[in-house]
Amino acid sequence: MRVLITGGATRLAQDLAETLSVRHDVVLMDRIEHLPALNYEVATGTLSHTGATNALVRGMDAIVHGSDTGLGESESDRLDLAMRCTYNLLWAAAEEGVGRVVLLSSLQVLAGYDEDMTVTETWRPVPTTDLDVLSHYLSESVCREFGRERKTGIICLRLGDLVWGDEGEGVRSSSALYFDDAVQAVERAMAAERPAAGPDWKLLHIQSAVPGARFATTKAMDYLEYSPVDRG
């Protein structure tokens, strides 16, 4: 599978590219020219509404897209990425016949609920003015409309608080997501079949099986056969 991963300046995107490149043909993309070329290709683009974005996505089987930049950009630039650039990417994907887009969002859009509540995908987001949370929420809104119109198949993965293997000792977060579980969810979302009818949009919660897990992942287990390692 040929896969484009955006947000290449972030640790998540770079580690996903490195891990997925073992089994897939990966292109890691960012908006500045500084990415190291390892076991995958690298590309630079602004995600503008031009032929350059079409060329970037052409021939891709799947796109993994997130609104994080990792660059300390201005508020306006980050909001621009979450909305206009996400729109441009999806429009190009639809025009070029890319069948699957995986949006990497965050469970932080639901963090406003009490800790003792087990929150599912049916609960309304409670975004704040925090730029990270707001960017994820706005990206979800753009993707949801494309999915409803079946312009391309979109699966939104709301990821928990990421934990890398070298940081796992003593983690106590009730919404922790270990990187290996995140990789499993992303790869299965990339390969998921599109529905024959109705909205081509799926929203799934992804976190690890930790004691007191705050967010229900039953839907992801059913739809993707997501099977996180038991961390109990």
Q: How far separated are the first and last CA of the chain, in Å rounded?
A: 34
pLDDT at 192: 96
Beta bridge partners of 177: 162
DSSP element (H, E) containing 153: strand 153-159
Query: SS3 for 145?
Result: helix
Look at residue 118 in the predicted model and tell me its pLDDT: 86
pLDDT for res 169? 59
Nearest-angstrom CA–CA distance, 130 and 117: 22
Nearest Cα neighbor of 6 from 104, 99, 115 is 104
With residues binned 3-state (H G I as helix, E B as strand, rest as coil), the percentages for the chain, rounded to 5, are 35, 20, 45
The pLDDT value given to residue 107: 95
φ/ψ (deg, to 5) at 45? -165, 155
What tens-digit pLDDT sequence spans the chain (232 residues)?
999 999 888 899 999 999 999 999 999 998 766 656 667 888 988 899 999 999 999 999 999 998 776 666 788 888 888 999 999 999 999 999 999 999 999 999 998 998 888 899 999 999 888 988 999 999 999 999 999 888 899 999 999 999 987 665 556 788 999 999 999 999 999 999 998 888 899 999 999 999 888 999 999 999 999 999 887 7
Q: Which residue has the tokens 């994820």?
A: 136
User: What was the pLDDT predicted at 55?
Assistant: 97
pTM: 0.94
